Structure 1
Amino acid sequence: MSHKAMTIRLSPEQAEMLETVASVSNQPVSEVIRAAIDSHIGTVAGDENFQQGLRERIERAQSLLRK
């Protein structure tokens, strides 16, 4: 599986907490971050406001393509 490299900026407190969670969980920091992102995306994807915004964005894109 290929991965896309990205850069994020964390506060010193966030970085320390992230490193602590990774260390205690015996996981690489990158895996903890990927798991957190997966969890957040899963939560957001099920949100009705997000779904409505997504439908609106799709409708706008389709409208632009019809022009």
Structure 2
Amino acid sequence: MKPAKAMTIRLSADQAEELETVALVDDQPISEIIRAAISEHILTRKADSSFQDGLKDRIERAQRMLGSDQ
């Protein structure tokens, strides 16, 4: 398993206040609320066919690039 990676994000004052409220109501650390939201977003994107098409296109482009150097 890869080690955790620290990241920094900037939120508007309104977003920060709303996030703090959600964390307080859910009795969860803000970091856990953020991680859960990111996980949900990634799962949603992975299930989206247009995302899958874009991902396949990127992979094919990278493979062509690698093949052009040989």
What TM-score results when the alignment is normalised by the length of structure 2?
0.91
1:3 CA displacement: 1.6
The amino acid that maps onto 1:10 is: L
Q: Which runs of 4+ in 1 moved over 3 A?
A: none
Please list, as runs of the form range in 1=range in 2, the aligned pairs for 1:7-22 lying within 5 A after superposition: 7-22=8-23
Gaps of 5+ in 2: none
Gaps of 5+ in 1: none
Number of residue pairs matched? 67
1:44 CA displacement: 0.8
What TM-score results when the alignment is normalised by the length of structure 1?
0.94
Question: RMSD over aligned Cα, in angstroms?
Answer: 1.1
Q: Which moved more, 1:35-44 or 1:2-11?
A: 2-11
User: Counterpart in 1 of 2:36?
Assistant: 35
Deviations 1:4-56 (A, max 9, x none): 11111101110001001001111000000000000001101111110000000
Cα distance in 1 for partners of 2:22, 2:34 equals 10
The amino acid that maps onto 1:43 is: T
Question: Sequence identity, in percent?
Answer: 63
Are 2:50 and 1:55 equivalent residues in the alignment?
A: no
The amino acid that maps onto 2:40 is: S
